[in-house]
Amino acid sequence: MDAITLTIDGAAVTVRRGATVLEAAQQAGIYIPTLCSDHDLEPYGGCRLCIVEIEKMAGLPTACTTPATSGMVVRTATPAVNEARRDIVALLLADYPDDCPACTGDDRCDFHQVVAYLGLDEQPFRRLHRSIPIDSSNPFFERDLDYCIACGKCVRTCDEVVNVDAIEMASRGYTILPSAFGGKPIVQSNCISCGECVVRCPTAALMPKERRLPAQEVKTTCPYCGVGCQIYLGVSDGQVISVRGDRDNDVNRGLLCVKGRFGVAGYVNHPERLTLPLVRKDGALRETTWDEALEMVAGRLAGFGKGEVAVISSAKCTNEDNYVIQKFARTVLGTNNIDHCARL
């Protein structure tokens, strides 16, 4: 690795060349408040909370946009830095509704964590009010722009991560807000409801409609398709209530599609979900064991000649599973009539 070493708050930190000062600090476990940065997104420098002092650099550069260089000396929490940060947070809070529906009272919330870190003890600014209608048009999440701090994460996620560009920052100055084309409801845009923006929103502006917090999480593989996205199922009272992508996993790096993020709990908990194989006996389907079901299928298949059977496989299976089924079809059943549901 091409590495460089810099000093942050007196500690020597070695990072890959090209890392930002923020990444270097995070790697060293040094907390720098930020509301607009995300490791999946390009540096932005909008919230200005990650300002730091860097020797030989004028002013207060933002850690998220400044490349770390060899020998750089960074101080992350000087009085001047924190004073400017407190005014920035006070400005945001003066413009933020008091009753935050996302409030968990702990540092699961980015905004909460930043406020707690800076220890705000006064609100010197004028109270500002916005009253923008909530957009509930999407089946899975709501957008309440009264809580938006215009960090642009949703817009940048839709562009840089998902490549859908369903939303863009609209208007200017104080009235800037994310918007679908023509200011229309989200559901009328080309939004694919993946919810990546909802995950990254640092405030309560984008919230899933299902807001319960799970008692525990279980790591598993998303059952929806063959990609194999790694997810955490949130469970409460024996029921799946939430899904979150595993950011540390190389398959999906936390990203999920609409089905994985918003569809799993629905079908796992559905009363009509099949949990056992069914066989038809006396004109009616009834539950049975896998042994009985497989034996019955094998017996029936043995009665057909070559080419008399067709096999349809599923996109829910992995590539390996699909390979095996076509191998089975061609070599065991002796048929080339093999197809896949993704082609239908």
Partner 1 sequence: MGKLTGLLKRRGAPETHTVLVCQGTGCQSSKSDQIQAALQQEIVQLGLSDRVKVKSTGCHGFCQRGPTLIIEPDGIFYTRVKAQDVPEIARCHLDDGQIIDRLLYQHPGTLEAVSHYHDIPFYKKQQRLIMRNCGQINPEDIQDYLDTGGYQALRNVLSGMTPEQVIAEIRRSGLRGRGGAGFPTGQKWQFCRDSAAPQKFVICNADEGDPGAFMDRGIMEGDPYTILEGFTIAAYAIGASQGYIYVRAEYPLAIKRLRIALKQAREHGFVGDHILDSDFSFDVTIKEGAGAFVCGEETALMASIEGKRGMPRARPPFPAQSGLWGQPTNINNVKTLASIPVILTRGAEWYSSIGTETSKGTAVFALTGKIANSGLVEVPMGTALRQIIYDIGGGVPGGKSFKAAQTGGPSGGCLPADFLDLPVDYESLTQAGSIMGSGGLVIMDEATCMVDIARYFLSFTQHESCGKCVPCRVGTKQMLEILKDITTGKGRAGDIDLLVRLGNSIKVGSLCGLGRTAPNPALTSIRYFRDEYDAHIRDHRCPAGVCQELA
Name the site residues for partner 1 (rule: CB under 8 A): 43-49, 51, 59-62, 65-67, 80, 83-84, 87-88, 91-92, 94-95, 124-126, 128, 149-150, 152, 168-169, 171-176
Min dist CB 101 to partner 1, Å, is 21
Please tell me what DSSP assigns to residue 263.
I
6, 13 contact by CB (below 8 A):
yes
- The 8 Å CB, 24+ separation contacts for 139-142 are 139/187, 139/193, 139/209, 139/262, 140/193, 140/195, 140/198, 140/208, 140/209, 140/258, 140/261, 140/262, 141/193, 141/195, 141/198, 141/206, 141/207, 141/208, 141/209, 142/206, 142/207, 142/209
Min dist CB 69 to partner 1, Å, is 10
Min dist CB 118 to partner 1, Å, is 13
Please tell me what DSSP assigns to residue 188.
G
Report the run of H or E that residue 297 belongs to, with start and end. helix 290-301
Could you give the angle at which helices 110-118 and 79-94 cross, rounded to 10 degrees?
130
Q: Given the complex with partner 1, which of 62 and 76 has the nearer CB atom?
A: 62
Q: Given the complex with partner 1, which of 162 and 169 has the nearer CB atom?
A: 169
Q: Given the complex with partner 1, which of 89 and 207 has the nearer CB atom?
A: 89
CA dihedral 209, 213, 218, 220 (to 10 degrees): 20
Tell me whether residue 258 is exposed, middle or buried, using C-beta atoms within 10 angstroms of its C-beta: 0 to 12, 13 to 18, 19 or more.
Answer: middle
Q: Given the complex with partner 1, which of 83 and 308 has the nearer CB atom?
A: 83
Min dist CB 41 to partner 1, Å, is 13
Min dist CB 103 to partner 1, Å, is 21
Q: Given the complex with partner 1, which of 31 and 174 has the nearer CB atom?
A: 174
Min dist CB 150 to partner 1, Å, is 6
Q: Which of 129, 35, 21, 154 is nearest to 85 (CA)?
A: 35
Q: Given the complex with partner 1, which of 107 and 168 has the nearer CB atom?
A: 168
Q: Given the complex with partner 1, which of 62 and 193 has the nearer CB atom?
A: 62
Min dist CB 77 to partner 1, Å, is 15
